[in-house]
Structure 1
């Protein structure tokens, strides 16, 4: 059962977190391109459409990503490692990454998309998109750290 849970955990991480990290990283430059092509949806519809698609990917796969910790807790419980330091650290980092995504990345994407649609004035300068790129990079770095912890697992009996 442990191997099935671990497989589901890893698959959920690949399928859910991978698209969010890529789409979120692509979002700031896509916004810059869409904003440079003329303000609002009337500028270049395909550029704004790309921004909308990237935002939708981030939102949908962030929701799907809830399966990752669910399968993770089930796997850790089956392995008897719920109290291990590496796992507790991973849990904290996962919570921080989730917070960064939900509090810092997605709302800024919403605001920039609203600005592109011209419905609400939001500063579309390079500083805004650079800040979003920084928060996205932080989110990606946190997930990379969790991934390394999951592979290395200090004190594991796998010999890794």
Structure 2
């Protein structure tokens, strides 16, 4: 059972977290190009947001599978603090994605599509870059903790 859960956990991390990490990082540059009237960039920003908002919630499989692995073999994983930290960091990263990154992307994309100037795109870019960087860093630390 543990082997199956580990396989699900690793596959979900590779197939879901990789694309989300890339889309979270790439959105800001396309948003700024779209702000300047680039229609191709608007299409790219729309696609990046769609991928982030669809893969993001599904990526909860990664920390959930990690918790399941942890609980099914508590005698092995429960005594190692790196797994406690990994689960905590991945949950924080996922909450950051759902609560801060996706809503900000949605808000800026709606402003781009409507042609509204209600959004300060420079500030939004800085915030999205910061939160995206933190999100990616948390996942990189989590991945490194799995192999230490």
Determine if the TM-score, normalized by the shorter chain, exceeds 0.5.
yes
Q: 1:13 maps to which residue?
A: 13
Identify the residue that residue 111 of structure 2 maps to in structure 1.
115
Q: Is the 8 A contact 1:112 1:122 kept in 2?
A: no
Aligned partners of 2:95, 2:79: CA distance in 1, in Å? 23
Deviation at 1:89, TM superposition (A): 1.1
Cα displacement string for residues 112-141 of structure 1 (whole angstroms, at most 9, x for unaligned residues)? 101101265433432321221111000000
Whose Rg is larger? 1
Q: Distance in 1 between matches of 2:114 and 2:120?
A: 11
Equivalent pairs, count: 146
**What SS does the corresponding residue of 1:137 show, helix, strand or coil?**
helix
Q: 1:54 aligns with which of 48, 64, 67?
A: 48
Gaps of 5+ in 1: 39-43, 153-160
Paired residue for 1:63? 57
Which has more helix, going by share of residues? 2
Farther-moved stretch of structure 1 (12-21 vs 82-91): 82-91
1:33 paired residue number? 33
The structural deviation recorded for 1:46 is: 2.5
Residues in 1 aligned to 2:95 and 2:7: alpha-carbon distance in whole angstroms: 25
Unmatched segments (≥5 aa) in structure 2: none
> 2: CA distance between counterparts of 1:47 and 1:64?
26
TM-score, normalised to structure 1's length? 0.83
Runs of 4+ in 1 over 3 A off after TM superposition: none
CA RMSD of aligned residues (A): 1.7
